[in-house]
Amino acid sequence: MRCSLMLVSLPLALLLACRSDPEVEVTTRLGEADPLRPAPELLAEQVAAYQRWLSEMPRLALGDEAPTSTPEVPPNPKAAPAASKPTTAREVPLPPPHPPRDPSELTALVEALRRGPIADLAIPARNIALADPALWPQLRELLVAERRGRKADYKALLDQIGGDVPNRYGHFDRAWKRAHGSPNVLLSDDWHEDLLALPTRKVATSLHGIYRDTVLQTSLLRASARIARERPERAGEVIEALLDAAYIHEGTFRDEVGRTIRAVGDDAIPHLVRASARPPAKTEDDRYAIPYRRAEYAELQLDRLDRLQPRRAVLAVQDDPRRLSELLTAYGDRRVADAADVLLDHVQAPLPRVRAAARAAVLAFVTGPPPPIERKTLNLLGGKTASIKARPSYRETAALALRARLAREAPGLLEEPCRVILEGGATDPACLAQPERHALAYFEHLDRDQHAHEAALIASALERDDLQSTVTELDRLLVGATTVSAPLDPRILDVYRRAAEQAIASDDPRRAGQLFRKAAVLLADHDPQASAALTVQALLAEASLAELSPEGKSMLLATAETIAPGHADVGAAIAALRSHRTRRSSPPWSMLLLTWALALATLTLLAALGARLRAASADR
């Protein structure tokens, strides 16, 4: 006799039976599907789609072309609605497989960082770092958001990669040790990549949320630097946000923020100059407040960029007129005393944009109310103290620089030295305004000399015998000249008129139009009516170009008619253009006769065919 053992689920019991002929019957019954569990085939499709997405993301994050659509998973009719399904980390919707281009895609990537698989954070992190510059408002909001975790937890995580977190006094322990004889101290200089390269097994489960948030913050910092470089018009907003981010959460991310500011490069200099203006400190405690420390931090970043000294900063952007003019304007806004002499070096710059920025900055130094006097306390022998001026104000520095320039270049313009503070403590308004008078006199002296020099060069060009070489030389001189607004030499207009008439005689209307327009520009500030007449001549010449389409000619002539209604030459040109269009649109007489002959032949043929058909019907 043999024995068999059977295990039954409901009710749970053990049945022992002994039979001579053992028989085993296995019955499998499929009940209703669990509404909370996805079907196996749907789960397999989801896993496959996610694996395809993961395989595409590293390539796309480096800037390759993104696929036109994300992989779709076929719906399961038996699956329950998503609202009734419990949410877990691996059930977060897949983020877009490319850098975000709109707020919804950015939100999906941030959600993937916060709730997705912790082993796959590199994909959304690198895509956030490549976010579209149009998303800067949303990125800024995330960047300066308050962190709810403890600073000690962030520090414990960052210790794994050598992240330097300042203590309560702003001291960076790791950097200090590295700089003072401890080269083996682990010190990260790229938190973003070091965090993504950190094996997740080294991150304690309790720090997973801190790890996700730190990766998000470093991705936002990297995106900020890239946006400021690609969109210089946003550099000011980015620098302000980064300086704010340096002091959120007790300065936890300040080390990485500093590297981000320096990664912006020279476009950050003007904004750091403005931000380095310290607010008034009435008490010693005010020097430890965040606004004061924030200004000191901006100045520190200028020093780390080697742009703290104005002359070095200006030299770095000397070849870029946009950056140079922005920097000179920033020195005028901030009134950096050491920049006064550098500004005077550019008040006669060849480019009008740079010249105007330098002069406006110099005038900002010497106009307005007098600056406050910064004082310091000296400890004297016997326990006594004395208060003295700490340093010359920016106005005093500018006044000394102007006086030195005038003494070297135009001594006759110098006024006698005076005292701003009279006996009894009163202020002398005339002496207070002396630096401004010196500045205006210096600018007028420079303009007068420049105008005389340019006039001499133009007069030399007008003496040439060859008309074309005279025009070429005048073009070269007038490109950067400042004499266009000065009394205009009528011989210049005569040269351009004669050259334009010569171009028309040579059947070169394009060249004639260019010359007429140059003369019109020169006359715009002196004789608007004559300038308008020359502009009409330029439009007529350009409208006569043979290769120009009728539509283009019509636009030019319409502009000329707007400038000079009733002009005879313009009216004649418009009439000629309309007549030409009419001739082109109406067929010639030969074509009309041929068309009529063909129509008549067709009607005759149809009539004959109809008669033959009627005859055939009658025979039947």
**Share of residues in the chain with pLDDT > 70 (%):** 77
Summarised one tens digit per residue, pLDDT across range 442-489 is: 999 999 998 888 888 888 888 888 888 888 888 887 776 654 444 567
Q: Which amino acid is at 54?
A: L
DSSP 32-48: PPPTTS--HHHHHHHHH
Q: Which residue has the higher pLDDT, 458 or 190?
A: 190
Q: Which residue has the higher pLDDT, 426 or 68?
A: 426
Residue-level pLDDT at 76: 47
Query: How far apart are the C-alpha atoms of 548 and 541, rounded to whole Å?
Result: 12
Residues 403-419: what's their mean pLDDT? 94
Q: Which residue has the higher pLDDT, 48 or 501?
A: 501
Q: Do 444 and 409 form a contact (C-beta atoms < 8 A)?
A: no
Query: How far apart are the C-alpha atoms of 333 and 314, rounded to whole Å?
Result: 16
Tokens 């009658």 identify what position?
A: 618
Q: Which amino acid is at 265?
A: G
Q: Do 191 and 218 form a contact (C-beta atoms < 8 A)?
A: yes
Nearest Cα to Cα of residue 357 among 368, 372, 370, 346: 346
Q: Beta partners for 518?
A: none
Residues 368-384: what's their mean pLDDT? 81
Residues in the chain: 620
pLDDT at 13 over 60: no
Cβ count near 139 (within 10 Å)? 24
Summarised one tens digit per residue, pLDDT across range 262-282 is: 999 999 999 999 999 998 877
Residues 6+ apart with CB under 8 A from 24: 4, 6
Q: How confident is the model at residue 8 (pLDDT cuts 50, 70, 90)?
A: very low
DSSP 57-109: HHHHHTTPPPPSS-------TTSPPGGGSPP-GGGSPPPPSS---SHHHHHHH
Q: Do 295 and 275 form a contact (C-beta atoms < 8 A)?
A: yes
Angle between helices 151-158 and 208-230 (to 10 degrees): 80
Query: How far apart are the C-alpha atoms of 155 and 210, rounded to whole Å?
Result: 10
Residues 167-175: what's their mean pLDDT? 91
Residues 6+ apart with CB under 8 A from 500: 511, 512, 515, 516, 519, 537, 541
Residues 369-387: what's their mean pLDDT? 81
Residue-level pLDDT at 480: 62
pLDDT at 23 over 80: no
Q: Do 254 and 247 form a contact (C-beta atoms < 8 A)?
A: yes
Residue-level pLDDT at 348: 93
CA atoms within 13 A on the CB side of 577: 22
Summarised one tens digit per residue, pLDDT across range 478-490 is: 776 654 444 567 8
Q: Do 515 and 496 form a contact (C-beta atoms < 8 A)?
A: yes
pLDDT at 36 over 50: no
Q: Beta partners for 3?
A: 18
Q: Hey, which bits of 181-223 come out as E strands?
A: none
Model pTM above 0.85: no
CA angle, corner 365, sides to 335 and 407, nearest 5? 125
pLDDT at 87 over 50: no
Dihedral sign for Cα atoms in the order 401, 403, 405, 408: negative
Q: Beta partners for 7?
A: 14
Q: Do 253 and 243 form a contact (C-beta atoms < 8 A)?
A: no
Three-state DSSP at 65 gives: coil
Residue-level pLDDT at 273: 97
Q: Which residue has the higher pLDDT, 292 or 579?
A: 292
Summarised one tens digit per residue, pLDDT across range 576-606 is: 878 776 655 545 555 545 555 555 555 565 5
Q: What is residue 423's DSSP assignment?
A: T
Query: How far apart are the C-alpha atoms of 568 and 570, rounded to whole Å?
Result: 5
Residue-level pLDDT at 476: 81
Q: How confident is the model at residue 148 (pLDDT cuts 50, 70, 90)?
A: confident
Residues 419-436: what's their mean pLDDT? 87
Residue-level pLDDT at 605: 55
Residues 528-538: what's their mean pLDDT? 87
Task: Cis check for the bond before 310: say yes or no (omega within 30 of 0).
Answer: no
The span from the first CA to the last CA of the chain, in angstroms, equals: 110
Q: Which amino acid is at 203?
A: V
| Range from 19-33, 261-275, 314-328 carrying the lowest mean pLDDT | 19-33
Q: How confident is the model at residue 214 (pLDDT cuts 50, 70, 90)?
A: very high
**Mean pLDDT computed over every residue of the chain:** 81
Residue-level pLDDT at 444: 95
Look up residue 415 and give its two tokens: 């006024």
Q: Which amino acid is at 316?
A: A
Residue-level pLDDT at 377: 78
